[in-house]
Structures are given as C-alpha cells and as structure tokens.
Amino acid sequence: MKLHSIILSLSILLIAQTAFAQCGSSKSKHHASHSWSHHDDLVDVVSNNENFGTLTVALKTAGLVSTLQKEGPFTVFAPSNAAFDKLPDGTVEGLLKPESKGQLTKILTYHVVEGTFYAKDLINAIQNSNGQYQIKTVSGGRLTASLRGSTVIITDETGARTAVLQTDVNASNGVAHVIDSVLLPK
C-alpha cells in the first residue's frame, strides 16, 4: 500500500529529525505575532499569516473552514508551510485532489482537539499523567503529549514526533500551537 509506505517513511524521517523547541517557560515562550488578533477565529489566525498558506489551502479544499469558524472552543496543532514541506514529494498535491478529500479531512481533523488547551494545561496534564498525556482529536484519533526538557512533543499514531514551536496563539474560538511536522493518523 503506497500510503502506508509514505507514512512509514515519514515516521522514520520525522523521528530522526525531531526539532527541539521551548514550550512553557517564560524565558522562551513565543508570543503571537502582532498580525494575530484575539478577535480573529482560528481560520483567520492561519489564513492571515503567510507561514500557513498550505494549511489554509488544505482547510478550504477539505471544506473545514466553516467548522473551524464555529464557536468551539478548539485547540489546533497548526503545521506551518515548512511542516508540510517535510512530507514526501507529491504528498500535498495528492491530498489536495478532489478524490482525496476524505483522507485530507481525516488528517486535518486529527490536528484539532475540542476544548482549549494552553501550553500550561498541556504541561500540567503531562506531569500529572506520569509523563505522557493522551489527547483525543476531533477525527477520533489519539495524540500523545510528552515533555523533553521544557519542550512539548506530540507523538502521532504512526509514532512520529513533532515539537511545539510556538504556543498559545489565541483566537476568538480557541487556541493554536504551531508545530514543526504534519501529524498523521493510522
């Protein structure tokens, strides 16, 4: 199965290249860009920032814009353009085809969690759960949050890991955390 091979290759690549980023410490905590307003919904937050062009196109293609504009609240682990660039050649283009809408929707909703989880909430949950906290996504899948030093690491169902690069980007209907890789469900 071609997709299985791509996911396996991606998992190996991501594990080998897991980036370290600080999350939760006051010295290293990144703040939202001045172009991001708390009054913007989650779709506005990503679509008004050029670093999320691929995510914006994917949300539109999957028909998820109106979903992420609802009241929520939601927590979104938002992959940047650089995160999408790590996928094997042709993967993004293939996912954006009309016949791949179901698969694209599953991948994107795998990045969304019901409720608002700020960095401090994630860190507390990890520490109160013996170092690993299970998160149920809107797609029905599971993510595992852990800490490496003060860096929040998210592990997807394929075993691939991604670091949270920027935390607590507020929106009117939730919060986004910028991640350095695309999360993939089984």
Note down pLDDT in tens along the chain; length 186 residues: 333 333 333 332 232 222 223 233 333 333 333 344 446 899 999 999 999 999 999 999 999 999 899 989 999 999 999 999 999 999 999 999 999 999 999 999 999 999 999 999 999 999 999 999 999 999 999 999 999 998 999 999 999 999 999 999 999 999 999 999 999 999
Distance CA 70, CA 84 (A): 25
131 burial (CB, 10 Å; 0-12 / 13-18 / 19+) is: exposed
Distance CA 137, CA 154 (A): 12
| Burial track 40-79 (b if 16+ CB lie within 10 A, e otherwise) | bbbbbbbbebeebebbbebbebbebeebbeeebbbbbbbb
Task: Assess contact for 83 and 183: CB atoms under 8 A.
Answer: no
pLDDT of residue 39: 65
In the chain, what is the straight-line distance between the N-terminal and C-terminal CA atoms, in Å?
13
Q: What is the pTM of this model?
A: 0.78
The secondary element (H helix, E strand) that includes residue 121 is helix 119-127
